[in-house]
A and B are shown apart, each in its own frame.
Chain A
Amino acid sequence: MRVLTDRLFQAFTMVVALSVSIILAFILFQLIKDGIGSINLNFFVETARPVGSNSGGFKQAIVGSLIIDSIAMIIIISLSVLGGLFLHVYPETLLSKILKESMSLLQGTPTIVCGICVYYMVVRSMGHFSGFAGSIALALVGIPYMVLASEQIFKMTPSLLVEAAYSLGLSKTRVIFYVILRFAKFPLLAISLLTLARIAGETAPLLFTAFGNSFLELNPGRPMAAMPLQIFIYAISPYDEWHRLAWAGALVLIIFVTVLSIILGRYRRLGE
């Protein structure tokens, strides 16, 4: 009976794993089939063009995403590491408990809500859409995830090392800088990449904040294009040519996330 249950369970898990793999393979196949044809040099060096001109690209969206995501990651990493440290060092305080609860709550909040909040707080007070507002919206999506992950990483620091540092007469600040942060260096890098992979594909928070732009814009104080936004705009358009570009954009985004995952795997090994 035990052998039968074991075999049944094995078969069930195999079917589930296969089903998920088939869906993933189908998505990848569709992306490659419809996207690969539109990926050429023009895709990377040309900005968006009107329908019919036949050689538009994603340059403004790629550059926009790089700028928006970089600013977002600077905000996310600096605030999250500090937040995670606070949760780790002062876990019993009321502020810690409030911070942890709000991070858990924010983690489950639909990302479009983050976009709307930033729209009311930043876009309306600035009077216009901007790449910077997009970065703040993406930071709101990434921060809860990274604060909670950082806390877990700091908790992993072996108490033996922390005690060794204290026994040498070091202050709490120095123990945090020289032992806890140093020990957490690689896991923090890995989790930052994971957060970047997560926010890089977010569209909803950018709809009301960065807004999008058909032209190359380097000033984050102005409306900016971004990869997921451009894919969204092309995908809901009625033109086949733009659909093909949307597929190509999605394929590039997937490749970017895959490359990040490969780097992440390497950092995981380094961390170990």
Chain B
Amino acid sequence: MIKMKLQDVHAFFGKNEVLKSINLDVYDKAVTSIIGPSGCGKTTLLRCLNRMHELDRNASIKGRILLDNADIFKMDLYKVRRKVGMVFQRPNPFPFMSIQDNVLAGFLMSGKRLSKNQKEEICEKNLRRVALWEESKDRLRDLPTNLSGGQQQRLCIARALANDPEIILMDEPTSALDPISTSKIEELIIGLKNEIVIVIVTHNMQQAARISDFTSFMYLGNLIEYGVTEQIFKVPKEKLTEDYITGRFG
């Protein structure tokens, strides 16, 4: 089932067109990865999916992006971002809030009132989902700056999950982490894909091959090829994809 559909999407920074006529289907209960060399528009494409691209004053988007057949440009902006959560390249927990408050940030900052029990329940549930509960249950009141980089990134994933999104966008979530933390995040992504749609941008082709069900290859703002991960890595249809995957450029 298609969860999100991109139809002829163009993205601009001022007059510079950084995404050119992208057509892409994001499937439900699957991990979709976006690969490609630096500057090809992977992150821009990801940021278009929850309209974070428009945060930049010079940025604009043309085309249609449908979430469950509803055009996200006609939906309430804040509702789109609640439905389509995001995890960034570098861990970015709020340094002035405790670990527990970071998990609950979406509720606390939007003014929703929660009872003490609800807070504890949401916090535990989401920390368990990211396998951080055992490591942090005795220091929920501590600042997140006391956690390691990998733990901070898992906390950011818990923060995004607590908001109850339908899709999570991940922008190279392991690029700033060591191999052990990376493998934990990868396990987490595989575990989560039955509950939630994940779209991940990665530079690491092995990672894309390991964790994703569908892979899209981008080059210079164009979506060159999109398909089942196994097909993309074993029998790519496009010469450019083959050259990139075999390391001839990039």
- List residues of A whose CB falls within 8 A of some B CB: 92, 158, 160-161, 163-171, 174, 178-179, 182-183, 185
Beta-carbon contacts under 8 Å, B97-114 to A:
105-106, 108-111
- List residues of B whose CB falls within 8 A of some A CB: 50, 52, 55, 57, 78-82, 85-86, 88, 90, 92-96, 105-106, 108-111, 156, 159-160, 163
Query: Contact: B160 with A170, CB < 8 Å?
Result: no
Among candidates A164, A167, A174, residue contacting B110 with C-beta atoms closer than 8 Å: A174
C-alpha spacing A160/B153, complex, angstroms? 13
Among candidates B55, B92, B108, residue contacting A160 with C-beta atoms closer than 8 Å: B92
Q: How far is the CB of B46 from chain A (nearest CB, A)?
A: 11
Q: How far is the CB of A173 from chain B (nearest CB, A)?
A: 11
17 contacts between A and B (CB under 8 A): A160-B88, A161-B92, A161-B95, A163-B52, A165-B105, A166-B52, A167-B50, A167-B81, A167-B160, A168-B109, A168-B110, A168-B163, A169-B79, A169-B82, A169-B106, A170-B110, A174-B111
C-alpha spacing A223/B232, complex, angstroms? 83
Known: A161-B92, A183-B96. A170 touches B156 (CB 8 A): no
Query: Contact: B159 with A179, CB < 8 Å?
Result: no
Query: Contact: A161 with B79, CB < 8 Å?
Result: no
* 5 other A-B residue contacts (CB within 8 Å) besides A92-B57, A168-B163, A169-B79: A165-B94, A168-B110, A169-B78, A171-B78, A183-B96
Interchain Cβ contacts within 8 Å, total number:
65
Among candidates B90, B93, B109, residue contacting A170 with C-beta atoms closer than 8 Å: B109
Query: Contact: B82 with A168, CB < 8 Å?
Result: yes
Q: How far is the CB of A270 from chain B (nearest CB, A)?
A: 11
Q: How far is the CB of A91 from chain B (nearest CB, A)?
A: 9
C-alpha spacing A158/B79, complex, angstroms? 24
Known: A166-B81, A167-B86. A161 touches B106 (CB 8 A): no
Q: How far is the CB of B175 from chain A (nearest CB, A)?
A: 14
Among candidates B93, B95, B111, B159, residue contacting A168 with C-beta atoms closer than 8 Å: B159
C-alpha spacing A183/B81, complex, angstroms? 22
A183 CB contacts on chain B under 8 angstroms = 96
Query: Contact: B88 with A164, CB < 8 Å?
Result: yes
C-alpha spacing A95/B55, complex, angstroms? 21
A171 CB contacts on chain B under 8 angstroms = 78
Known: A168-B81, A168-B82. A163 touches B55 (CB 8 A): yes
B85 to chain A: closest residue by CB = A167
Query: Contact: B78 with A170, CB < 8 Å?
Result: yes
C-alpha spacing A36/B105, complex, angstroms? 54
C-alpha spacing A144/B168, complex, angstroms? 44
C-alpha spacing A161/B78, complex, angstroms? 17
Q: How far is the CB of B160 from chain A (nearest CB, A)?
A: 7
A162 to chain B: closest residue by CB = B55
Query: Contact: A168 with B57, CB < 8 Å?
Result: no
C-alpha spacing A161/B50, complex, angstroms? 17
Name the 6 nearest CB pairs between A and B, nearest first.
A169-B82, A167-B86, A160-B92, A169-B81, A168-B106, A178-B109
C-alpha spacing A92/B163, complex, angstroms? 33
A179 CB contacts on chain B under 8 angstroms = 94, 109
Q: How far is the CB of A199 from chain B (nearest CB, A)?
A: 29
C-alpha spacing A61/B79, complex, angstroms? 57
C-alpha spacing A160/B144, complex, angstroms? 15
Q: How far is the CB of A185 from chain B (nearest CB, A)?
A: 8
A167 CB contacts on chain B under 8 angstroms = 50, 52, 81, 85-86, 88, 160
Q: How far is the CB of B114 from chain A (nearest CB, A)?
A: 15
